[in-house]
Amino acid sequence: MAKDYSRYLAKLDLPTGKTILITGGNSGIGFAVAKALLPYHWTILIATRNRQRGEDAKARLLSIDKDAQVQVYQLDVSSRKSIVAFAKQIQIENVDIDVFYANAGAYRIPFAINEEGFEMTFATNYLGNLLLYDAFHDYLTNLGHPVKFILTSSITARFQRVKEDDLYGGKTYHKAKAYARSKVAVNMFYQTLAKNHDPLVLPLLVHPGVTYTPLVDKAFSNKTFLLWGHRFLRRFTHPVEKAALSTLYLLQNTITSPCFCGPRGPFHIAGYPKIYPLYQGNLKQAEEFVHRSQEILGIQT
Ligand SMILES: NC(=O)c1ccc[n+]([C@@H]2O[C@H](COP(=O)([O-])OP(=O)(O)OC[C@H]3O[C@@H](n4cnc5c(N)ncnc54)[C@H](OP(=O)(O)O)[C@@H]3O)[C@@H](O)[C@H]2O)c1
C-alpha cells in the first residue's frame, strides 16, 4: 500500500492551484510528485517520451481524483528535435507554468548515441536539460511571474568528477560512472544557473534519495540479484512517496532563492527533506564545463 505523507505535507507552506510540468512524469518520483499535488489542485503537465505511458499515468491520476487537471505531452529529452517541437507546442498553446521539473533520467543503460552523436545517459540527464533551459528560458521569463526550474541530482554525483575529455569513466563506457558523471554535470549546471539567476526563473536542485523505481528495476538484468538487492536496500532506502518529498519541499512559498534539497538521513540516502550545501564544487570549473557544453550544442551562454 502506498505510504501517505499528507500529515507531513500539511505542515509545509505549499501553494494551491499552480501548474507543474514534469519531464518523465509518467513514472517513479515524477509521478509520485504529481499524485501528492492533487489535493492542492495543481495542474499537472506530464511530458513523456511514450504517449501511451503518459496517458496511463493520466488515467491513474484521474482514478484518484476525477477532477484532476492533467495534460500529456510528447517529449524525448535526449532529442533536440523533440525538445524544440515540445517548446513550440507549449508556446503555441500559451501554457502557464509555475514549476518546470526536469526529472526525466536514464540510469545504467547500455551504450547508445543519440541523433547528434552524444552518448545517451549524458544526452538524457544533462544535455537535454541544457537544451530545455535554452528552449524555455525566454518563454518562462515572459510569463510575468516567478517560475521554479528544478534539476534532479543523485547521491552518486558525490563520488565522481567529470572532465570534458573523460565523461564516461574511462576509455570504454562504464554504465554506473556515466550516470554519476551526468549528475555531476547537472550539479554544475545548477551551480552556474544559481550564480547569476534571472529573478523570474529560480534554479533549484533536488536529490530524491534512493528509492526503488522502474529506473532501478530496468538497470539490472539479473532479477534474482535485483530481488535480494531490493530486499536489502529497502532497509536503508525510502519509498517513492517519501523520495518525492524533497521536490515537494522546494515547491513551498518560502523557497525563493536557489538551494539544494535532499533527504536528511545518513549519507542522504533516505529521510525527510532538508536544505544543505552542494557537496563540492569549484564554481569556475563548473562554469567552464557548462559553457563548453553549451558551445558544443551551439546554444547561447
Ligand atoms: N530512484 C532513485 O533512487 C533515484 C536516486 C537519485 C536520483 N534519481 C533521479 O530521479 C529521476 C527520476 O527517476 P525515477 O527513479 O523516478 O525513475 P523512473 O520511474 O524510471 O522515471 C524516470 C522517468 O524518465 C523518463 N525518461 C527516461 N528517458 C527519457 C527520455 N529520453 N525522454 C523523456 N523521458 C525519459 C522515463 O520514461 P519511461 O517511463 O518511458 O522510461 C520515466 O518517466 C531521474 O532523474 C533519476 O536519475 C533517482
Residue ranges per structural domain of the chain: 6-297
Lowest pLDDT segment from 74-83, 233-242, 270-279: 233-242
Q: State the CB neighbour count (10 A cutoff) for residue 272.
A: 15
Of 64-73, 110-119, 155-164, 209-218, the range with the highest mean pLDDT is 64-73
8 Å CB contact between 229 and 238: no
Residues β-bridged to residue 205? 151, 260
- SS3 state of residue 201: strand
Report CA(25)–ligand 1 centroid distance (Å). 8
Average pLDDT of span 1-18 = 90
8 Å CB contact between 251 and 262: no
CB of residue 205 inside a 6 A radius of ligand 1: no
pLDDT of amino acid 135: 97
CB of residue 124 inside a 6 A radius of ligand 1: yes
Rounded Cα distance between 300 and 115, Å, is: 21
Q: Does CATH place domain 6-297 in 3.40.50.300?
A: no
Average pLDDT of span 59-78 = 98
DSSP, res 148: E
Rounded Cα distance between 167 and 182, Å, is: 8
Atom from ligand 1 closest to the CA of residue 49: 33
pLDDT band at 198 (very low <50, low <70, confident <90, very high): confident
CB of residue 152 inside a 6 A radius of ligand 1: yes
What global pTM score does this model have?
0.95
Q: Most distant CA pair in the chain: distance in Å?
A: 52
8 Å CB contact between 179 and 168: no
What are the backbone angles phi and psi of residue 36, rounded to the nearest 5°? -65, -25
Give the cell for residue 126. 544533462
Amino acid type, 70: V
Between 234 and 38, where is the model more confident? 38
Q: Which tens digit of pLDDT belongs to each residue from 105-157?
A: 999 899 999 999 999 999 999 999 999 999 999 999 999 999 999 999 998 88
Residue 169 has pLDDT above 70, yes or no: no
